[in-house]
Amino acid sequence: MLAEFGVRCWASPAAPGVAPAAEALAGVAPASRAPGAPGAVARQTHGAPASEVVAPPAAARRTPLPRVTPAPRGAGIGADATTVPVAASRADDPVSGERARRIASLDWTALRAEVEACTACGLCRTRRQTVFGVGHPEARWMVVGEAPGEQEDRQGEPFVGAAGQLLDAMLRALRLTRATDGDAPPAQRVYIANTLKCRPPGNRNPAPDELLRCEPFLQRQIDLVRPDIILAMGRFAVQALLRSSEPIGRLRGRVHAYQGVPLVVTYHPAYLLRNLPDKAKAWDDLCLAAEVAEAAAAGRAPGAG
């Protein structure tokens, strides 16, 4: 990704035996350890030309920022004109009602079956198939996107189109993978899911009602994975998880929380494909997320992965 982003960075630590992402991407020097890791700060060049943007190490790049408490569950997605409020106490409330409570108790197998059979909104009539999610169930990273597009609707996997290729390159640059085969340690595994499990026709924006009805699925996925870090990509992921309709540009650059899980906001890969200069900011966001993930891993008992 670094080559694609045109950004230099201090990369995440490489696990033994894992090919450095920079080499995979650009055939350049091996990666160093991450900022903040003991005795580890070293500069990545990644073959980027001298004129490219350089992201400074964490200590210089950003001072600790206060966490942002998300709005309460059931408070409704956003408060702008494009969203609808939720009556939190109603039994049929999409987010806190009986259906949502039942979904919150499902295991992976039952949850997948529930998604496949879902008819809670009109998208069930136009989808080819549902797009559940992909990645290791014990991943330390979770990426949350928006909704399946045409390719995802065909293949049944999130982020397999052009935006997905960019996302994979971004993840590779941090030595992260969505693959479930292979022997990647949990710290390098990513689980990817969308706020919507079905494609909106013509790739239109998700409707507020669709987001609400689909939300219990994402909530349960997050609960089951219990990642160390959530990367929320794009405004619909942010609306669903942070209950915020603030622009991405105002929310990125600091660590938020979703039900106790640290969350970093960044631009959607599809947006980045259209707005190349913002790739540098997205890379900075990924570096911030990597720092959070590394801090969580450092706090874990030795041998826990």
| Residue 114 interacts with ligand URA (CB under 6 A): yes or no | no
Closest-CB residue for ligand URA? 145
Structure tokens at 210: 């669709």
From candidates 20, 135, 148, 206, binder to ligand URA by CB under 6 A: 148
Q: Which of residues 190-209 bind ligand URA (CB under 6 A)?
A: 194
Q: Which range binds ligand URA by CB under 6 A, 87-95, 141-149, 274-282, 284-292?
A: 141-149
The secondary structure of residue 124, as a DSSP letter, is G
For residues 75, 79, 81, 83, the Cα torsion angle rounded to the nearest 10 degrees is -30
Q: Is 158 in the site for ligand URA (CB under 6 A)?
A: yes
145 near ligand URA, judged by CB under 6 A: yes
Q: Which of residues 244-273 bind ligand URA (CB under 6 A)?
A: 270
Q: Which is nearer to ligand URA, 152 or 278 (CB)?
A: 152
Query: Interface with ligand URA includes 168 (CB under 6 A)?
Result: no
Nearer to ligand URA, 31 or 240 (CB): 240
Burial class (CB in 10 A: 0-12, 13-18, 19+), 134: buried
The residue among 221, 195, 194 whose CA lies nearest residue 208 is 195
Q: 163 vs 263, which CB is nearer to ligand URA? A: 163
Interaction between residue 152 and ligand URA (CB under 6 A) = yes
DSSP 8-state symbol, 303? T
Q: How far is the CB of 48 from ligand URA (least distance, A)?
A: 27
* 3-class SS of residue 164: helix
How far is the C-alpha of 198 from the C-alpha of 88, rounded, in Å? Answer: 24
3-state secondary structure of 289: helix
Q: How far is CA 243 from the centre of its chain?
A: 16
Q: List residues near ligand URA by CB under 6 A.
A: 145-149, 152, 158-159, 161, 163-164, 194, 270
